[in-house]
Amino acid sequence: MSELHSFIFEGLPVRGQIVRLTDSWQEVLSRREGSQTGPWPLPVRNLLGEMAAASLLMQSSIKFNGALELQIQGDGPIKLAVAEAQPDLSFRATAKVMAGIDDHAHLADLVNGNGQGRCAITLDPQDRQPGQQPYQGIVPLAAADGTRLQRLSDMIQHYMRQSEQLDTVLVLAADDRVAAGLLIQRMPLEGKGNLQAGRADEEALAEDYNRIATLAASLKPEELLSLDAETVLRRLFWEERLMRFEPRVGETAPRFSCRCSRARVVNMLRSLGREELDSILEERGQIEVSCDFCGNEERFDAVDVAGMFTALQDAPPGTQSVQ
């Protein structure tokens, strides 16, 4: 079963999380496998699994009241890769890719062939007012010296330091069974004492963080995939004093969930205009729209399309048509 564990290091401004997606991640893959397009190539599955794990870790460390979306706008065979996590730890993920991706292809070549790829992190508040824009941070997929970043975790560590001012260590891994991640973060210091004592404290705390960060970074992807959270924590931090929070398991565990609906599809189709829809109907007899995230398919015939446009005009004043 999928799970998320949170912990802090007693007396130190350092916190951490481990996420382990099993059944929920397998559901994402099996929905895709059962769709018309068939499964994503291996490196894409691995990237999406890491993105799903990372979006949940970021969501639960930022504690944002809204959707957190991690999106790679690729410059290479991966055109787009998206993972989205909600405050209740439901998540979804999808990708648009070109055919012919090699099983051994490197991430940098897949998403950043000519150095133009980028990663966007969007925070979309739940109670967003009409006209209000979601917050978005852009992370280049290359370091300042132009070196292309090789791992998703590098990009996110960079983002957390730049945008959230949080030193972060992130280890991510995914295969077809498990998508998992470990996040260690230095919490901002509050209420420093007099300057000199403050500085000495700060140095000691920096040393503590560096020690824990080094331990965390020593975790290998294959360990993260094969070991349960208890074993990972014991192996890495057996000399530290950890305080654990109630794990998110069972009903509160991370899970796959899609936010698509027929009503949203209707709104999207309506925006294309009657003429466009009629020409599709003429050509194919019906309009089929399937969701990239969950594979759910909605079909519309001529009567449905007519209803999309007449219902608006025929509705009595003050009412809204519900499709």
Q: Does residue 289 belong to the site contacting Zn ion (CB under 5 A)? A: no
| 55 or 185: CB nearest Zn ion | 55
Least distance between Zn ion and beta carbon 27 (Å): 12
Least distance between Zn ion and beta carbon 122 (Å): 18
SS percent in the chain: helix, strand, coil, step 5:
40, 25, 35
Q: How far apart are CA 244 and CA 18, in angstroms?
A: 11
Residue with tokens 């300042």: 144
Q: Pick one of 8, 217, 225, 260: the residue that binds Zn ion (CB under 5 A).
A: 260
Supply the Cα-derived Rg of the chain in whole angstroms.
23
Q: Pick one of 293, 300, 304, 305: the residue that binds Zn ion (CB under 5 A).
A: 293
Least distance between Zn ion and beta carbon 15 (Å): 33
Q: How far apart are CA 260 and CA 201, in angstroms?
A: 50
Q: Does residue 265 belong to the site contacting Zn ion (CB under 5 A)? A: no
| 68 or 291: CB nearest Zn ion | 291
Residues near 45 by beta carbon (within 8 Å), at least 6 away in sequence: 29, 39, 174, 175, 176
Q: How far apart are CA 42 and CA 103, in angstroms?
A: 6
Q: How many residues bind Zn ion (CB under 5 A)?
A: 6
Least distance between Zn ion and beta carbon 281 (Å): 23
Q: Does residue 294 belong to the site contacting Zn ion (CB under 5 A)? A: yes
* 111 touches 96 (CB < 8 A): no
Which amino acid appears at position 191 of this protein?
G
Q: What part of residues 153-172 is at the interface with Zn ion (CB under 5 A)?
A: none
Residue with tokens 């209740």: 88
Q: Pick one of 291, 300, 304, 305: the residue that binds Zn ion (CB under 5 A).
A: 291
Measured in degrees and rounded to the nearest 5, phi and psi for residue 294 equal: -115, -10
Least distance between Zn ion and beta carbon 261 (Å): 8
Residue with tokens 């003050």: 318
| 150 or 296: CB nearest Zn ion | 296
| 25 or 209: CB nearest Zn ion | 25
Q: Pick one of 108, 110, 174, 258: the residue that binds Zn ion (CB under 5 A).
A: 258
Q: Which residues bind Zn ion (CB under 5 A)?
A: 258, 260, 291, 293-294, 296
